[in-house]
């Protein structure tokens, strides 16, 4: 099954209104490469202003609450993100697992809530360095998928992102062979859970993707795109990754 490449940027806790010029330039690159999908997951404060002119660039949130509303000070529901202009949301990012003690079950509930509100979902998984060193990377990722991937997931609304924690913001990446191997294992696990629909679900690689390594990572078997942190913050760094995906 052919799957369109997807390049997603995650601005994390970066970005002020002055940075909307970068969003505008990235949106222009997305418009110039419509054969792929491009997403920018922005701080909630920038979703509305960015969505107003993003065009083919899909604007996303970085988290949502699992409940549709309620007494949850400081939290945002999926419907709020949707109303602000987001069409997609990241759930289960390793920084939220580390900083907010989120679990794979939380990611599952957030994915369900996002879908119910009309958002597409990018759900993250990935092992720590200690888990990889102990030879447990595959089992950790399989367990995360088993607990977090909704049983009705399909490629229309659901994307998986494999982000080994030790590769995030470190400049270190797994080899293409290691990435291909984990992605194949992830897809096999999803096939057990959702059947043939797994063939349509994109699996992104994330962790220290840059303009320099994007072409080789994006050409790796089983890699359907990239989830990019630091190198998505400026058009100068992110557009070469979009171009690399469009050229695969
Ligand atoms: O966490 C990431 C994207 O969600 C990856 O971050 P970096 O690209 O900065 O390593």
Q: Where are the domains of the chain?
A: 6-247
pTM: 0.98
Mean pLDDT of 119-130: 98
C-alpha–C-alpha distance, residues 220 and 134, integer Å: 25
* Among candidate residues 149, 43, 144, the one with its CA nearest the CA of residue 86: 43
208 assigned ligand-binding residue = yes
Q: For residue 123, what pLDDT band results from cuts at 50, 70 and 90?
A: very high
pLDDT (0 to 100) of residue 61: 98
CA of 231 to the centre of ligand 1 (A): 8
CA of 227 to the centre of ligand 1 (A): 7
**Among this protein's residues, is 93 annotated catalytic?**
yes
Assign domain 6-247 one CATH number from 3.40.50.720, 3.20.20.70, 3.10.180.10, 3.90.550.10. 3.20.20.70
Residue 1 predicted with pLDDT over 80: no
Q: Using the CB atoms, write b or e for 225-241: b if 16+ within 10 Å.
A: bbbbbbbbbebebbbbb
Distance set, CA 193 to CA 29, 175, 189, 197 (Å): 36, 27, 7, 9
Q: For residue 2, what pLDDT band results from cuts at 50, 70 and 90?
A: confident
Q: Could you give phi then psi for residue 213, rounded to 5 degrees?
A: -105, -5
pLDDT digits (tens, 9 = 90+) for 32-70: 999 999 999 999 999 999 999 899 999 999 999 999 999
10 assigned ligand-binding residue = yes
Q: Which protein residues are within 6 Å of ligand 1, measured from CB?
A: 10, 93, 163, 168-169, 206-209, 227-231
HSE-CB for 78 with a 13 A CA cutoff? 22
């Amino acid at each position: 099954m052919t799957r369109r490449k997807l390049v997603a940027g995650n601005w994390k806790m970066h970005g002020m209104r002055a940075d909307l010029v970068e969003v505008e330039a990235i949106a222009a690159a997305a418009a110039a490469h419509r054969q792929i999908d491009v997403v920018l997951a922005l701080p909630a404060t920038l979703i509305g202003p960015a969505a107003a002119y993003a065009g083919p660039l899909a604007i996303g949130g970085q988290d949502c609450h699992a409940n549709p509303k309620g007494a949850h000070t400081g939290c945002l529901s999926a419907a709020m993100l949707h109303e602000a202009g987001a069409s997609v949301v990241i759930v289960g990012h390793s920084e939220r697992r580390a900083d907010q003690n989120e679990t794979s079950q939380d990611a599952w509930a957030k994915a369900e809530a996002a879908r119910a509100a009309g958002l597409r979902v990018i759900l993250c998984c990935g092992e720590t360095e200690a888990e990889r060193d102990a030879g447990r990377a595959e089992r950790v990722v399989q367990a995360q998928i088993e607990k977090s991937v909704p049983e009705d997931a399909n490629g229309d609304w659901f994307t998986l992102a494999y982000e080994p924690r030790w590769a995030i913001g470190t400049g270190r990446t797994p080899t293409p062979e290691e990435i291909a191997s984990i992605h194949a294992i992830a897809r096999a696990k999803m096939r057990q859970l959702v059947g043939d629909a797994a063939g349509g679900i994109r699996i992104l690689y994330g962790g220290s993707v840059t303009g320099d390594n994007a072409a080789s990572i994006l050409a790796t078997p089983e890699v359907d795109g990239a989830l990019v942190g630091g190198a998505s913050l400026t058009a100068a760094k992110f557009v070469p990754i979009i171009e690399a995906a469009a050229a695969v």
